[in-house]
């Protein structure tokens, strides 16, 4: 049986003009694109106006939501990327399909980012268009989805948004805590700048020793002395020296502490946990939590500092 050779056909030989030739053909053969992207496409309209611009095609998906289709028989460019976003938002569409001869890497990345960051019911497709024939056969278009929506992408986007919200809340919380501590004359962390981590740390006057404020998203906060010199054996030995003075230290602190030697790990800690709520408990509760944390940190530093200074 003879086997033909697949030959590429230049797109401009099939459709000289995007708007008058390719868009017209696509509106009459929308099933080819629909099969490639995996969604129903029907009721195409050509040259739908958006302000002073015109969308190449507007169709409907299986749920009667608008789908905008932007065609480009050349390499992708910033102009068409802007049009895709403009058309989708102004026409209140749920899906955008950008067809191009050659998707540039920066536009692949941009469409992937849009799929991650937009709402779960919004989808962007970047589709590569090619054409082939075998021998003297009629040329056939070939659509390849380079990047499209996925549950994984939306999940990544949601997690990124949650992380960004956490960072904003933490920064605001630490700014407020440092200001309140300064107003109270508790200056142990005065040299520190607020950050987006769940902890705010300052050295305890000895390498590997840190006094930390900690704030979780829900339920709890804490203050602690964290011991990590980089080696487990010295950490445990130092912890044991301090633990031998537990009664004296807790009396100076004014309450019990959590002594966590953590034999299965390298570091150790001496912690006081505060169960008044976490970062998301409501900003109206932050002052009470912060005042309690500041008071606990002041007592913890004063209780431990003299004994840290006496360590060999």
User: pLDDT per residue over 115-168, tens digit each?
Assistant: 988 888 899 999 999 999 888 888 889 999 999 987 776 676 677 677 678 888
Same domain, yes or no, for 134 and 184? no
User: pLDDT per residue over 37-84, tens digit each?
Assistant: 999 999 888 878 787 788 889 999 988 999 999 999 999 999 999 999
Residue 210 lies in a domain: yes
Range of the domain at 37: 6-149
Same domain, yes or no, for 55 and 181? no
> How many C-beta atoms surround the C-beta of residue 45 within 10 A?
12
Same domain, yes or no, for 190 and 289? yes
| 92, two tokens | 């209140």
Same domain, yes or no, for 253 and 118? no
Q: Which helix (H) or strand (E) covers residue 258, if one does?
A: strand 258-260
Among the listed residues 203, 202, 200, 194, the one whose alpha carbon sits nearest the alpha carbon of residue 213: 200
Pick left, alpha or beta for residue 213 (phi over 0 → left; psi -120 to 50 → alpha; otherwise beta): beta
pLDDT of residue 3: 75
User: pLDDT per residue over 229-283, tens digit each?
Assistant: 999 999 999 999 999 999 999 999 999 999 999 999 999 999 999 999 999 999 9
Q: How many domains does the chain have?
A: 2
Q: Which helix (H) or strand (E) covers residue 274, if one does?
A: strand 268-274
| 10, two tokens | 């230049």
Given 91, 122, 149, the domain boundary residue is: 149
| Dist CA 124 CA 99 (whole Å) | 11
Residue 157 lies in a domain: no
Which residues are within 8 A (CB) of 11 and not within 5 positions of it... i.e. 6 or more apart?
A: 22, 73, 101, 129, 130, 131
| Dist CA 240 CA 230 (whole Å) | 17
Same domain, yes or no, for 127 and 181? no
Same domain, yes or no, for 229 and 174? yes
Question: What is the torsional sign of CA 200, 206, 207, 209?
Answer: negative
Residue 136 lies in a domain: yes
User: pLDDT per residue over 89-98, tens digit each?
Assistant: 999 999 999 9
Q: With contact defined as beta carbons under 8 Å apart, do 253 and 299 qualify?
A: yes
Residue 302 lies in a domain: yes
pLDDT of residue 279: 93
Among the listed residues 181, 127, 191, 202, the one whose alpha carbon sits nearest the alpha carbon of residue 298: 181
Residue showing tokens 């080696």: 231
| 147, two tokens | 């990047």
- The CATH number of residue 215's host domain is 3.30.1460
Residue showing tokens 């058309």: 87
- Rounded to 10°, the helix 232-243/286-309 angle is 100
**Total-model pTM:** 0.59
pLDDT of residue 308: 95
The residue-averaged pLDDT of 218-239 equals 95
């Amino acid at each position: 049986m003879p086997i033909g050779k697949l030959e590429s056909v230049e797109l401009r030989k099939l459709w000289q003009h995007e708007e008058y030739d390719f868009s017209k053909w696509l509106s009459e053969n929308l099933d080819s694109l629909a099969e490639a992207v995996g969604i129903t496409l029907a009721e195409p309209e050509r040259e739908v106006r958006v302000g002073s611009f015109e969308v190449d095609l507007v169709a409907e998906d299986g749920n009667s939501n608008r789908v905008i289709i932007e065609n480009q028989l050349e390499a992708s460019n910033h102009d068409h990327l802007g049009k895709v976003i403009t058309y989708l938002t102004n026409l209140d569409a749920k899906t955008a399909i950008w067809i191009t001869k050659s998707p540039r890497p920066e536009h692949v990345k941009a469409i992937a980012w849009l799929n991650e960051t937009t709402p779960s019911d919004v989808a962007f497709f970047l589709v590569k268009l090619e054409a082939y024939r075998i021998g003297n056969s009629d040329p056939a278009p070939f659509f390849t989805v380079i990047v499209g929506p996925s549950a994984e992408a939306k999940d990544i986007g949601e997690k990124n948004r949650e992380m960004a919200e956490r960072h904003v809340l933490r920064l605001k919380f630490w700014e407020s805590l440092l200001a309140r501590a300064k107003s109270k004359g508790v200056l142990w962390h005065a040299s520190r700048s607020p950050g987006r981590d769940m902890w705010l740390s300052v050295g305890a006057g000895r390498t590997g020793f840190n006094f930390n404020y900690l704030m979780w998203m829900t339920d709890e906060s804490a203050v602690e002395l964290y011991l990590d010199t980089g080696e487990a054996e010295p950490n445990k030995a130092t912890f044991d020296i301090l633990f031998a003075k537990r009664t004296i230290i807790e009396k100076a602190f004014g309450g019990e502490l959590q002594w966590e030697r953590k034999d299965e790990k390298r570091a150790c800690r001496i912690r006081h946990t505060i169960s008044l709520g976490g970062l998301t408990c409501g900003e109206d509760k932050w002052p009470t939590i912060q005042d309690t944390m500041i008071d606990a940190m002041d007592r913890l530093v004063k209780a431990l500092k003299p004994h840290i200074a006496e360590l060999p």
